[in-house]
Structure 1
Amino acid sequence: MLPPAARLTRSQDFGLVVRRGRRAGRPRLVVHVLKPDVPTLDSSKVGFVVSKAVGNSVVRHRVYRRLRHVVRPVLAEMPPGTLVVVRALAPAAEASSSELAADFSSALRKVLR
């Protein structure tokens, strides 16, 4: 579970990150990252988008749990105030945790360059 301070919950925040942030796509997911313009002490936050295109409720929640497990250790290493949105694509339903982790780390490296 992610602590409440590390979660994106407002629709406006999701929209801001998707519109103004940098994006990197991989076969199973897309990562959007918005770094703060000025240094801040706020913690980094992450939000997940797992649509019905991924599968039924059981499949979507399984993908969400796997992504949350992949992102949790990386979140603490990000610059303070960074906002991240991870959008799962349909192939994520059949992906293993290691495949999701590889896609996430690859996309994150590209965006944070």
Structure 2
Amino acid sequence: MLPAGSRLTRRDEFAAVLRRGWRSGRSRLVVHMHCPADGDAPRAGLVVSKAVGGSVVRHRVSRRLRHLLAPRLGELPAGAMVVVRALPPAADATSAELGDDLDSGIRAVLRKAGGTRRG
């Protein structure tokens, strides 16, 4: 579970990350990251749409992603806001496969950001 202070909750926060941030797509998910000027603790949010599956499947994918994302928040730069968007193949993926996609997505988005700020 993500601690309350580590969650993105408002629509405008999600929109800012999706509009202004860097993106890295994988076969099962897309990682978006935005680093605004403030240096607060990293925060994350999930987007799991109905395209992934019914409510049971969506909640299973969400639980897996939250569990995988929580320990990785410490690796992100201060102030980073991350949105992980699940794609339909995430429904059939194992936790290990989701973890691999999440790790490579985070690495790629950090490499793209390369210390520069966007927006």
Structure 1: distance between partners of 2:84 and 2:101: 11
TM-score, normalised relative to structure 2: 0.90
Aligned-pair Cα RMSD in Å: 0.9
| Structure 1 spans left out of the alignment, 5+ residues | none
- Residue segments in structure 2 that go unaligned for 5+ positions in a row: 112-119
The separation in 2 between residues aligned to 1:27 and 1:77, in whole angstroms, is 22
For the residue of structure 2 that corresponds to 1:76, the secondary structure is helix
- Poorly superposed stretches of 4+, deviation over 3 Å: none
Q: Corresponding residue for 1:9? A: 9
Matched with 2:28 is 28
The one-letter amino acid paired with 2:8 is L
% identical equivalent positions: 59
TM-score, normalising length from structure 1?
A: 0.95
Provide the secondary structure at the position in 2 that maps to 1:111: helix
- The one-letter code of the counterpart of 1:86 is V
Task: Indicate whether 1:105 and 2:96 are aligned.
Answer: no
Instruction: Write the deviation string for residues 34-56 of structure 1: whole angstroms up to 9, x where unpaired.
Output: 023x352x111000000000000
Aligned equivalent of 2:68, options 67, 70, 76: 70
